[in-house]
Amino acid sequence: MAIKNFQVRYVKLIPIMLCFFAMGFVDLVGIASNYVKDDLGLTDAQANLFPSLVFFWFLIFSVPTGVLMNKIGRKRTVLLSMIVTFVSLLLPIFSDAYVVMLCSFSLLGIGNALMQTSLNPLLSNLIQGDKLASSLTFGQFVKAIASFLAPYIAMWGATQSMPTFGLGWRVLFPVYMIVAVIAILWLGATPIKEEAADKASGFKSCLKLLGRPFILLSFIAIMCHVGIDVGTNTTAPKILIERVGMGLTEAGFATSLYFIFRTLGCLSGSFILRHVSAKLFFVISVCCMILAISGLFLFHSLPIIYVCIALIGFGNSNVFSIVFSQALFAEPEKKNEVSGLMIMGLFGGTVFPLLMGFASDAIGQDGAIAVMAIGVFYLLYYVSKIKR
């Protein structure tokens, strides 16, 4: 009977992991913003508005989603997020107008805010205890697969004509839209028993958790993690264009390289975290990013730039799952509320690209790297606050 329950539980993980894959759709905004910039002749600050717009909605919707989960449940909230994501991917198929792309990216951000707030605690209904951090990391691994595939699909679409039905790089949207439909149907048909919420928390009670020092520090750590993630995703091709003189299509490989190593980091982290303390692995991760940021400041050769981008990808791959699980451990009775607050920290994906855009317009990509460095050194400070 125990073996049968084990098998049933892990079969239920499959549609959840497919939703983690769909969660990675949000990272297409990095390469997409570069193509939109090229199509419309935008400045860095104007182009970085797109990823900033996507992550702006995490500030607005994350905490209310935590409240919503207490009322309708985690699974229904995930399904709602997938439907919003489906609509966001549908719009660019019909038009690439500026307003349409703004609407698409906004809906993508809203759907992802709903999804990231509800999907992580939904996973905790099947995986508990010390295995949660490694399971969240494996979910991030699955998410990263969608992230690093996005530039390749966009590059393929940009260099083809007939097979993409005239969509060009925008063929990315219908491909991911099909996956979203499958995820909606599969998760909807999967029964998952959820923990009963003690009571429906209000917006103010959720925000009050920020008054607890460790929750506040974790919130800022999430902001820095996502800022580094979106910043590298968006800026890596620009570094190659500025320093090596590559074209956009060729430079887009830098984004894929980042996500390849973030994917490898998530995969290895899901196993390493079963045997190594979260604190030690977090130290190793941050040291990788410090080396990378230093290398980007000091060297301009192509191989070293690639190595630095890869190090950031590997180092940043497990930060989210460790910080998120540490926050849940700190407040085990407030999982929905803590989840909402931590996902609200993804608002860092709005703040960092905007600052990086202004900095790079002023002094080149070194300015953007300097902004990311601030986030890396905060994570170094956060290490001292991790308890296990």
Q: Quick one: pLDDT at residue 292?
A: 95
Please compute the mean of the pLDDT values over residues 55-73 and round it to a whole number: 82
Q: Quick one: pLDDT at residue 308?
A: 94
Please compute the mean of the pLDDT values over residues 144-167 and round it to a whole number: 73
Q: What is the mean pLDDT of the chain?
A: 83
Q: Quick one: pLDDT at residue 33?
A: 79
CA distance 336 to 197: 9
Tokens of 186: 């599969």
Please compute the mean of the pLDDT values over residues 218-232 and round it to a whole number: 90
CA distance 258 to 229: 9
164 vs 230 pLDDT, higher one: 230
- Assess whether pLDDT exceeds 60 at residue 164: no
Q: What is the pTM of this model?
A: 0.74
Please compute the mean of the pLDDT values over residues 328-342 and round it to a whole number: 78
Q: Quick one: pLDDT at residue 1?
A: 44
**In this predicted structure, which of 9-18, 125-134, 240-249, 265-274 has the lowest mean pLDDT?**
125-134
pLDDT-based confidence at residue 372 (cuts at 50, 70, 90): very high
Please compute the mean of the pLDDT values over residues 45-59 and round it to a whole number: 78
In contact, 202 and 67? CB cutoff 8 Å: yes
- Assess whether pLDDT exceeds 80 at residue 227: yes
**In this predicted structure, which of 150-164, 195-209, 339-353 has the lowest mean pLDDT?**
195-209
Q: Quick one: pLDDT at residue 3?
A: 46
Residue 201, Cβ neighbours under 10 Å: how many? 21
137 vs 21 pLDDT, higher one: 21
CA distance 169 to 155: 6
Q: Quick one: pLDDT at residue 201?
A: 55
Q: Quick one: pLDDT at residue 128?
A: 66
- Assess whether pLDDT exceeds 70 at residue 198: no
**In this predicted structure, which of 35-49, 54-68, 176-190, 347-361 has the lowest mean pLDDT?**
35-49
Share of the chain above pLDDT 70, in %: 91
**In this predicted structure, which of 29-43, 191-205, 232-246, 265-279 has the lowest mean pLDDT?**
191-205
Buried b (16+ CB within 10 A) or exposed e, 321-357: bbbbbbbbbbbeebbbbbbbbbbbbbbbbbbbbbbbb
Tokens of 310: 């890869």
